[in-house]
């Protein structure tokens, strides 16, 4: 149970740090947010819980493919904000686009021999 609490605390600290850095230096905050810290921490926690090379390889490969559909969100949100869209609308549209692209990815992946 303490391990779960430690993971949650670490995740919260990362998010808070990114928000604080982003307030002062938006580009640096974006760089820290873009780092695959969550993925790396997830791999470390997963490896500690289940040290299985094939499982880790599958996790890492699936992570790569799931990152791709999330990228257009980071183009749509600023485009909408620069056209005076309200923040919450831009964020919601970005999230909706990402969900739609995730659904497309999970539908298309098996057709190209990808196991996600």
Q: Give me the number of domains the chain comprises.
A: 1
Domain that holds residue 98: 52-116
Q: Which residues contact 21 (CB under 8 A, 6 or more apart)?
A: 28, 29, 32
Is a pLDDT exceeding 90 seen at residue 89? yes
Dump pLDDT digits (tens) for 39-59.
Answer: 998 899 899 999 999 999 999
pLDDT at residue 64 in the model: 93
How large is the average pLDDT for residues 26-31?
A: 92
Is a pLDDT exceeding 90 seen at residue 116? no
Note the helical H segments in 50-86: 53-67, 73-82
Going by C-alpha positions, the residue among 106, 108, 110, 112 that lies closest to residue 66 is 106
Question: Is the residue at 79 inside a domain?
Answer: yes
Q: Encoding tokens for residue 77? A: 């949100």
Question: Is the residue at 64 inside a domain?
Answer: yes
pLDDT at residue 8 in the model: 87
11 vs 63 pLDDT, higher one: 63
pLDDT at residue 7 in the model: 80
Looking up tokens 């090379």, which residue turns up? 53
Element (H, E) at 25: none
Going by C-alpha positions, the residue among 89, 92, 88, 95 that lies closest to residue 72 is 95
pTM as predicted:
0.79
């Amino acid at each position: 149970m303490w391990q779960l609490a430690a993971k949650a605390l670490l995740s919260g600290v990362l998010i808070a740090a990114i928000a604080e850095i982003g307030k002062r230096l938006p580009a640096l905050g974006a760089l820290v947010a873009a780092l695959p810290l969550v993925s790396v921490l997830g791999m470390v926690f997963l490896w500690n819980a289940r040290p299985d090379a094939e499982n880790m390889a599958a996790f890492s490969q699936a992570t790569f493919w799931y990152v791709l559909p999330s990228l257009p969100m980071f183009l749509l949100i600023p485009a909408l904000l620069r056209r005076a869209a309200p923040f919450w609308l831009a964020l919601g549209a970005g999230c909706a686009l990402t969900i739609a692209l995730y659904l497309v990815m999970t539908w298309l992946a098996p057709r190209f021999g990808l196991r996600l």
